[in-house]
Amino acid sequence: MLSELLNKDTIQIANEVNNWQDAIRLASLPLLQQHKIEKRYIEAMIHSIEVHGPYAVLTPKVAIPHARPTEGVKELSMSLLSLQNPVQFGPDKPVYLIIVLAAIDDASHLRALVDLTQVLQEPTQIDSIIACQLPEDIVEKIKQYATKERL
Amino acid sequence: MKILVVCGNGLGSSFMMALTVKKALAELGKEAEVTHTDLTTATAEKADVYIGAGDIVDQLDNGMRKIVRIVNMMSIAEIKSKLEPLF
C-alpha cells in the first residue's frame, strides 16, 4: 500500500530545481541509492515525457513520471519530491509534487495507485502536502488521505 | 458503451484515470465498460469512446473515433461534464 512505499526514506523536500528533467533525476535519487531502480530507468522516464508530452502531469501541480518495468526497475517502489517553488513540465504546467512510480509488472502496484488516486482527487489535499516542511509530515498526510474512504 | 482510458504506457496514469472515470460514471448514474491501456495497444482496440490527456488521445484521432480530451485526469467534475453529453 501507498504509505509503505512513500516513507521518510523515499520522500524529499527541496527548494527548487532547474528544469523538469532535473526534477525527475532528484526525485529518483532515493530509489537509485536504495538499488530499487537502475540509472537507465531515470532516462527512460524523461524520454517517455519527451515522446508523449507532459501527460505525466496527471492533475494540476502533480506529475507522476514512470516508464516500463523492463526499462530498469529492480523492485516495486515509489518516491516523492516536494518543491517549494514549482518547475514547468510544459507550457502552463507548473509542478510542485513529483511522484516517481517504478512498477515491476502490470498489477502489483495497483493497490498503491488506488490509494494515490484518493490522495490526488482532492486539490486541497494536494495543497496541504505541498505546504509540509518535513518529510515526516508528508508521510502522515498521505497515510491520513489514502485510508479515509476505506474506514 | 465501452470506454477506453489511454496513457503513454498503460501502467500508471491510465489506471488512476480509469478509477476516476468509474467514480464519475457512478455519480452520473450511468453504466459503461471501462478499461485502460497504452497508446500502442489502443490503436488496435475497438471502443465507443477513447479518453485521456490531449497529448495522448490526439494521436488516436483518425476522424472516425470518438475522442475525449481531459486536462485534469483526477477531476471527477471535469470527466463528468465531458462524458455526460455522450449518453
Per residue in A11-59, pLDDT (tens digit) is 999 999 999 999 999 999 999 999 999 999 999 999 999 988 888 999 9
For A45-52, the CB contacts below 8 A with 24+ separation are: A45/A100, A46/A21, A48/B8, A48/B9, A49/A20, A49/A24, A49/A89, A51/B8, A52/B8, A52/B39, A52/B55, A52/B56
Task: Tell whether B35 lies on the interface with A, counting CB pairs under 8 A.
Answer: no
pLDDT confidence of residue A107: 86
Q: Give how far B85 is from chain A: nearest CA, Å.
A: 22
pLDDT confidence of residue A1: 84
> Which residues numbered 43-62 in B keep a CB inside 8 Å of some CB on A?
52-53, 55-56
Enumerate residue ranges in chain B where pLDDT < 70. none
Judged against a pLDDT cut of 50, whether residue A71 lies above it is answered with: yes
For range A94-114, the mean pLDDT: 94
ipTM beyond cut 0.95: no
d(CA B75, CA A58) in angstroms, rounded, equals 10
Judged against a pLDDT cut of 60, whether residue A90 lies above it is answered with: yes
Contact B11 A52 (CB under 8 A): no
d(CA A151, CA A143) in angstroms, rounded, equals 12
Q: Which residue has the higher pLDDT, A91 or A62?
A: A62
Which of B13, B39, B75 lies nearest to residue A64, judging by beta carbons? B13
d(CA A108, CA B25) in angstroms, rounded, equals 26
Task: Tell whether B4 lies on the interface with A, counting CB pairs under 8 A.
Answer: no
Q: Which residue has the higher pLDDT, A150 or B43?
A: B43
Q: Return the residue of A nearest to B8 by Cα.
A: A52
Q: What is the CATH number of the domain that holds A20?
A: 3.40.930.10
Contacts of A117 (CB under 8 A, 6+ apart): B16, B19, B20, B74
Judged against a pLDDT cut of 60, whether residue A150 lies above it is answered with: no
Q: Return the residue of B nearest to A117 by Cα.
A: B16
Q: In this structure, are residues A54 and A61 in contact, taking their beta carbons and an 8 Å threshold?
A: no
At A70 the three-state DSSP class reads helix
% pLDDT > 70, chain A: 97
Q: Which residues of A59-68 are buried (b: 16+ CB within 10 A; e: fewer)?
A: bbbbbbbbbb
d(CA B51, CA A129) in angstroms, rounded, equals 28
Judged against a pLDDT cut of 70, whether residue A149 lies above it is answered with: no
Contact B56 A55 (CB under 8 A): yes
Domain extent, residue A121, equals: 2-148
Q: Return the residue of A nearest to B24 by Cα.
A: A121
- Which of B5, B7, B13, B27 is best to mutate for the A interface (most A CBs within 10 A)? B13
Structural domain total, chain A: 1
Confidence label for A151 from pLDDT (cuts 50, 70 and 90): very low
C-alpha grid cell, residue A5: 512505499
C-alpha grid cell, residue A17: 530545481
Judged against a pLDDT cut of 70, whether residue A87 lies above it is answered with: yes
The whole-chain average pLDDT of chain A stands at 94
